[in-house]
């Protein structure tokens, strides 16, 4: 059994207008997506801004109301509040955010910020609580004098470590990491990603790792879902997505990864332009008449793409021939 199963999740926001403020339409931020996260894995959810990634993350953690669909945890649908309480879901599933400055209360000292989930769920004595907070600071590589400081007294990378310390305080099973390194410099990104991996191994945590950048998730994720317009357009293992991408949108995200090798830059720029041109020219092949992604079809036991079945098979076949 997977740690968590998302079945046909929809989150629609009503649009109200007119004198009576009636609901006239809706924003389909998440429009019927399904995927499973296994225990101990990092699952990547990638797409450009506005594709629905954060709404997905927030609805999994329970911060956003689900319009329809199921989120199955330990065999129970936790979109039902009674199940969520019974399974201690709010303790087991935590979230870290991109903007560490606004997600950490600026008026609270680090001791209180990290202790907050412990106070909600563990009810430790004052001494045990302090000991636990000190352990958590040590785990994320911060000194004990951090206890009495405020968030603005830390760098972005250090604040992200504090966010992780708070998230792991209750020994969660799953952490939703929403663009956890996007606001950081490249060198600090690598440090934070490495220590997130180390913490994952130490605590056996799973991550739902949300990013707009396929370059960032490459070394983190075992399985990846590509999201566009509220739907999943491609889903597969790291190898499927990076080495055998089929959907033009996935290819576009791959082409957007900056090329670090100076000698390869001209070739990379040409590929990027060609993919962009194909994306513009071939919308009718890759999206339905309303411009929405098609339903997913399987091209292998692990690899799914949102295309008409015959087109998906012909692309997969052509891809195999190129590899052969």
> Considering only 42-50, 185-193, 200-208, 257-265, which stretch makes contact with ligand ATP by CB under 6 A?
42-50
Query: Contact, 108 vs 127, CB < 8 A?
Result: no
Query: Contact, 38 vs 1, CB < 8 A?
Result: no
CA distance 57 to 261: 34
211 binds ligand ATP (CB under 6 A): no
Q: Binding residue for ligand ATP (CB under 6 A) from 12, 44, 46, 53? A: 53
Sheet holding 22-37, edge to edge: 22-37, 4-17, 68-73, 76-77
50 binds ligand ATP (CB under 6 A): yes
Which residues have CB under 8 Å from 207's CB, separation 6+? 41, 42, 43, 174, 175, 176, 177, 196, 200, 220
What character string, x for contact with ligand ATP (CB under 6 A) and - otherwise, covers 163-202? Answer: ----------------------------------------
> Closest separation between CB of residue 298 and ligand ATP, Å?
25
Say which residue the tokens 């079809």 belong to: 297
> Considering only 53-61, 159-167, 257-265, 311-319, which stretch makes contact with ligand ATP by CB under 6 A?
53-61
55 binds ligand ATP (CB under 6 A): yes
13 binds ligand ATP (CB under 6 A): yes
> Considering only 51-59, 121-129, 156-164, 244-252, which stretch makes contact with ligand ATP by CB under 6 A?
51-59
> Closest separation between CB of residue 50 and ligand ATP, Å?
4
The percent of the chain in helix, strand and coil, each rounded to the nearest 5, is 45, 25, 30
Binding site for ligand ATP (CB under 6 A): 13, 27, 29, 47, 49-55, 212
């Amino acid at each position: 059994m997977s740690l968590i199963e998302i079945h046909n999740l929809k989150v629609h926001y009503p649009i109200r207008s007119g004198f009576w403020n009636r609901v006239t339409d809706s924003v389909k931020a998440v429009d019927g997506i399904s995927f499973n996260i296994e225990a101990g894995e990092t699952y990547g959810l990638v797409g450009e801004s506005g594709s629905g990634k954060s709404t997905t993350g927030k609805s999994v953690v329970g911060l956003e109301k689900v319009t329809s669909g199921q989120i199955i945890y330990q065999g129970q649908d936790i979109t039902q509040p009674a199940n969520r309480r019974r399974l201690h879901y709010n303790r087991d599933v935590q979230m870290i955010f991109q903007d560490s400055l606004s997600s950490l209360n600026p008026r609270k000292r680090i001791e209180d910020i990290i202790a907050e989930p412990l106070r909600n769920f563990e009810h430790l004595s004052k001494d045990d609580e302090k000991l636990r907070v000190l352990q958590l600071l040590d785990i994320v590589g911060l000194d004990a004098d951090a206890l009495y400081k405020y968030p603005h007294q830390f760098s972005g990378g250090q604040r992200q470590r504090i966010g992780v310390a708070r998230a792991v305080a209750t020994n969660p099973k799953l952490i939703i990491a929403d663009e956890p390194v996007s606001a950081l410099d490249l060198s600090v990104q690598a440090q934070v990603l490495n220590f997130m991996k180390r913490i994952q191994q130490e605590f056996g945590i799973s991550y739902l790792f949300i990013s707009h950048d396929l370059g960032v998730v490459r070394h983190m994720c075992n399985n990846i879902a590509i999201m566009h317009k509220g739907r999943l357009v491609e889903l597969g293992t790291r190898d499927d997505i990076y080495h055998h991408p089929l959907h033009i949108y996935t290819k576009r995200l791959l082409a957007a990864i900056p090329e670090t090798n100076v000698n390869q830059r001209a070739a990379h720029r040409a590929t990027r332009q060609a993919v962009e041109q194909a994306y513009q020219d071939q919308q009718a092949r890759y999206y339905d008449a309303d411009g929405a992604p098609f339903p997913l079809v399987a091209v292998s036991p692990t690899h799914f793409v949102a295309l008409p079945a015959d087109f998906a098979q012909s692309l997969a076949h052509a891809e195999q021939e190129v590899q052969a």
